[in-house]
Structure 1
Amino acid sequence: MNASRSSLKRQLWQQTWPMALGVLSLLGFQLVDSAFIARLGTAPLAAQSFTFPMSFLIIGVQVGIGIAIAALIARALGAGEEARARRLGSLVMIGGSLLIAGLCIALWLWQTPIFRQLGADDAILPLIRRYWGPQLLASWVGAVLYFGYSLFRAHGDTRLPGKMMVLTSLINLALDPLLIFGIGDWAGLGLPGAAWATTLAFATGLGVLAWRLRQTDWLSTQGLIEEARTSTRPFMGIAGPAMISQLMPPLAAMLATAIVADLGETAVAAWGLASRLETVSLMVVLALTMSLPPWLARCYGGGDWRQIRRLMTLAMKVVVVWQLGLGVALALLAPWIASLLAGNPDVRTELAVLIRGLLPSYALLGICMLVVSASNALGWPLRAMVMSCVRLFACYLPCLWLGAQWGGVPGIAIGAAIGNALAGIVAWGGYRRSIGNAGRVEKSSEKPIMRI
């Protein structure tokens, strides 16, 4: 048993570390983006912060599509249906790219009423407008790149996506200061320069990924129409709830931004930096939500619930130990981290308060994220959707609003932390019930269960 556990840990590490490194580099350059923009002033940083909910909306749709296609391809491979896996890969690259393009166009056309609803005033809107066009282009290129990553992960290759994330991050970091601040007599592009740097970095990564895909046999042009008809229902059965689950965080982020906007421009700027830091600190959790579901889906396709339980137990232990240790360490270093990220003294002070209040609570938030991701791979997409809804709208936002009413920026830090803790507790309880029911069904049947 000890040897088996050791082997499982080694496999989980081998599957996760490339994605963790890639996620760290990808989210790290986004944090550095914000740090560079902070040097332009509080207004440009606030303008970028107002766009985060809309960017998260696009990411939510692309992640929902990626979850569904990775699950279906992994299940097809687990069942020995390699030809179907190739057709599914082609469908997601084509259909997903078109869907995200349509969403980006809509967000460009309706940008003014959207950002006004989020609390942006007439002084901030022109800054947002200059940034939003190239940022939407970067989001579309990044989404197509992400679909390629999902295809590789579904086939069990996490190394290439991890390497590509590092590559695109390094390119972005090199271009950021040049395009934002300029060089020599050229003054640079200012705030839009950050978006153009990201666009060029993602475009380079997409070119490399397309070259690599040409060397595989994971795509097919044969039978796509018939496959689309056959797979639409199971795809939407996963993608629909998964996209709704992924769209809830952007919606919650919009509402959270509106709550924070009542506290002033400085609070919005600090909240935007804290949001970037949140995603970086959750790198291990995000890596597990990418590397673990295809593995769980293969076990699901073969009806191996014992292995599923072992994988989930191990992953949850990793999440709690890592996030709690990292959260406490970053909370202790909050003043120094805030000084590195923010130039304005008021923003630095409020950011330090947010770091101390929020970061340790991500241990339980990570549990919730892991359970939601695993539920989509295990045939429980509706449960994942409900869990996401409860986390954001029954736990997080009410506590955030109460905190803002009670004590300003310190209040929202404490309120958000309590909301994260409640979400983790609820998710853990839901997972225990679900896996217990699956175990009872497994014992009463000799056939693989819960297949689509």
Structure 2
Amino acid sequence: MSAAITDPDSLAADARAARTQLLLTGPVGATLARLAAPNILAMLVSAAMNISEAAFAGMIGVSALAGIALVYPLVMLVQMLSAGSMGGAISSAVSRALGAGEAARAGRLVVAAWVIAGTIALAFAVVLLLFGAPMFSALSGGGEAGQQALSYAMIYFPGCIAVWLTHSTLSVIRGCGNMAMPSLLLTGASIATIPLSGALALGWGPFPALGLAGLSLGQISVFAVTALIAVFYVASGRAGLRVSGIGLGLRHFADILRVGAASSLNALQTVITIVAITAIVGQFGEAALAGYGLGARLEFIMVPVVFGVGAAMTAMVGANMGAGNRDRALRIGWTGSVAAGAIVGGVGLFFALFPDLWLGLFLEPDNVAALAAGRSYFRTVAPFYALFALGLALYFASQGAGRVFWPILGGGARMIVAIGGALVLTSAGFGLGGAFVAIAGGMAAYGLVTAVGIALTRWR
């Protein structure tokens, strides 16, 4: 009996079972807060990594900064798909299996998750290798920015298997109710990436100055190490699962892809909306684009806060749906989503009243036009951050429930209202302010459509 007590696999399985029980029976508010805190910390450090990358690009030169802007939506798409869309689907599938008491099925889902991650990463690599050069050349008008973007992409996308394996494996661990380990690994990866990418891009010390290629090489190198650690952690049984491909079938892939494929539409809608709005705002000049960009950057920084709560909800909701506790799952979803909306909404209202506290960090007082654009953005859009956060949090909760129809419909409504509204209002002579009204309307549509739909259907 003592051998069984000290067996590492048995101890890990017992710890995993205890975490699943906490998801099923723990106090909703307290459990959510406990699980969300390490996620939020990790996501904020990741945001700092993204900000530092832009700063390093600026040190290289204007063309490099323009190049990173060209490639960033595709990089963001990889991150949103691997960590959010497919990642959330993986976490949901694992937690639902464990909630239903099917640990063996959860172990097979791990293998399915790795196969899916590798396949999608390969598709990204092939597409960029075949079409990257003409695409970036067309986007830049044949300028230097296109070459800079290509130099970044030719390292990042062939190597994005490291990003996909990292996020898919960390999603498995989250599905087991363990938020601390993924947060620790992501925080360490982000902290390590900042100096390594800077050194490889700018040539610090003995490192060569590789420019934008160095930025992506630094990130991919760190994530490759992180992926190895995460895969070993799960494959060795430390997550509490016995990983096995024996008995793996189409139903295991379907468990993930049924939610993940639909969730991917949400990520695509977001990227399309960002690219289109940026193009519309860019018509009003560099100052307008700079002011909008600084406002949108704060919006992006709020996303990790929602993801921190959302990742915890995905696991909790999934486990309870798997156990047949729909009412508790709904209570978890609404509790976390309202909390996320309140937190992000409070930040939005603060900067709507005091926009210069943010804008002043980046702009000098003589940048009058950019400051005016930024103030207009915050006063028009920031009061609607609460509805944006509510919709996004409900999206993560819906992933856990395996019911993502309403968040996708809400994302579609946001895209139509924001892009269509911006085109109509700017064409009608309402100028930059009209574009910002459309952005605010898109956020309101996203939150309201998602919330009303879930309230009426209760994930049925």
Structure 1 residues 161, 120: closer, same or farther in 2, change over 3 A? farther
Native 8 Å contact 2:306 2:389 kept in 1: yes
Native 8 Å contact 2:348 2:383 kept in 1: yes
SS at match of 2:76: helix
SS at match of 1:256: helix
CA–CA separation in structure 1 for the residues paired with 2:230 and 2:434: 45
Please give the residue correspondences for 1:393-412 in structure 2 after superposition, counting only pairs within 5 Å.
393=416, 395-402=417-424, 404-405=426-427, 406=429, 408-412=431-435
AA aligned to 2:448 is: I
Native 8 Å contact 1:27 1:276 kept in 2: no
Shift of 1:434: 1.5
Shift of 1:298: 1.2
CA–CA separation in structure 1 for the residues paired with 2:101 and 2:390: 32
- RMSD of aligned residue pairs (Cα, Å): 3.1
Aligned to 2:393: 370
CA–CA separation in structure 1 for the residues paired with 2:226 and 2:31: 27
Shift of 1:59: 3.0
Summarize deviations over 1:110-132 as a string: whole Å, max 9, x none. 12443466565524212212222
Aligned to 1:449: none
SS at match of 2:248: helix
Shift of 1:10: 1.1
Q: Which moved more, 1:349-358 or 1:19-28?
A: 349-358
Gaps of 5+ in 1: 439-452
Shift of 1:276: 4.0
- TM-score, with structure 2 as normaliser: 0.83
Aligned to 1:220: 243
Give aligned-pair identity as a percent: 20
CA–CA separation in structure 2 for the residues paired with 1:346 and 1:46: 22
AA aligned to 1:231 is: H
Aligned to 1:429: 452
CA–CA separation in structure 2 for the residues paired with 1:269 and 1:89: 43
Please give the residue correspondences for 1:281-296 in structure 2 after superposition, counting only pairs within 5 Å.
281-296=302-317
Structure 1 residues 195, 358: closer, same or farther in 2, change over 3 A? farther
1:391 is matched with which residue: 391, 408, 414? 414
Shift of 1:389: 1.6
Please give the residue correspondences for 1:45-444 in structure 2 after superposition, counting only pairs within 5 Å.
45-62=65-82, 63-115=84-136, 118=139, 121-137=142-158, 139-183=160-204, 188-216=209-237, 217-223=240-246, 226-264=247-285, 274-331=295-352, 334-341=355-362, 345=367, 349=371, 350-351=373-374, 353-393=376-416, 395-402=417-424, 404-405=426-427, 406=429, 408-435=431-458, 438=460
Aligned to 2:12: none
Shift of 1:158: 0.6
Native 8 Å contact 1:282 1:362 kept in 2: no
AA aligned to 1:221 is: S
Structure 1 residues 160, 333: closer, same or farther in 2, change over 3 A? farther
CA–CA separation in structure 2 for the residues paired with 1:287 and 1:383: 21
Shift of 1:348: 5.5
- TM-score, with structure 1 as normaliser: 0.84
Q: Which moved more, 1:91-100 or 1:264-273?
A: 264-273
1:11 is matched with which residue: 25, 31, 35? 31
CA–CA separation in structure 1 for the residues paired with 2:134 and 2:74: 13
CA–CA separation in structure 1 for the residues paired with 2:378 and 2:195: 27
Summarize deviations over 1:120-160 as a string: whole Å, max 9, x none. 55242122122222232454322211001110011001111
Structure 1 residues 204, 276: closer, same or farther in 2, change over 3 A? farther
Summarize deviations over 1:268-305 as a string: whole Å, max 9, x none. 56655554432212222111221101210111112212
How many residues align? The count is: 431
Structure 1 residues 403, 134: closer, same or farther in 2, change over 3 A? farther
CA–CA separation in structure 2 for the residues paired with 1:271 and 1:90: 43
Q: Does 1:33 align with 2:71?
A: no
SS at match of 1:227: coil
Native 8 Å contact 2:290 2:370 kept in 1: no
CA–CA separation in structure 2 for the residues paired with 1:143 and 1:407: 43
CA–CA separation in structure 2 for the residues paired with 1:347 and 1:54: 29
Summarize deviations over 1:183-223 as a string: whole Å, max 9, x none. 36977333333222322332232233234224425353342
CA–CA separation in structure 2 for the residues paired with 1:346 and 1:213: 53
Native 8 Å contact 2:413 2:442 kept in 1: no
Q: Which moved more, 1:146-155 or 1:256-265?
A: 256-265
CA–CA separation in structure 1 for the residues paired with 2:26 and 2:451: 24
Structure 1 residues 196, 233: closer, same or farther in 2, change over 3 A? closer
Shift of 1:6: 9.8
Shift of 1:353: 4.8
Q: Which moved more, 1:339-348 or 1:88-97?
A: 339-348
Native 8 Å contact 2:112 2:252 kept in 1: no
Structure 1 residues 325, 125: closer, same or farther in 2, change over 3 A? same
AA aligned to 1:396 is: A
Native 8 Å contact 1:43 1:265 kept in 2: no
Structure 1 residues 117, 219: closer, same or farther in 2, change over 3 A? farther
SS at match of 2:413: helix
CA–CA separation in structure 1 for the residues paired with 2:183 and 2:54: 22
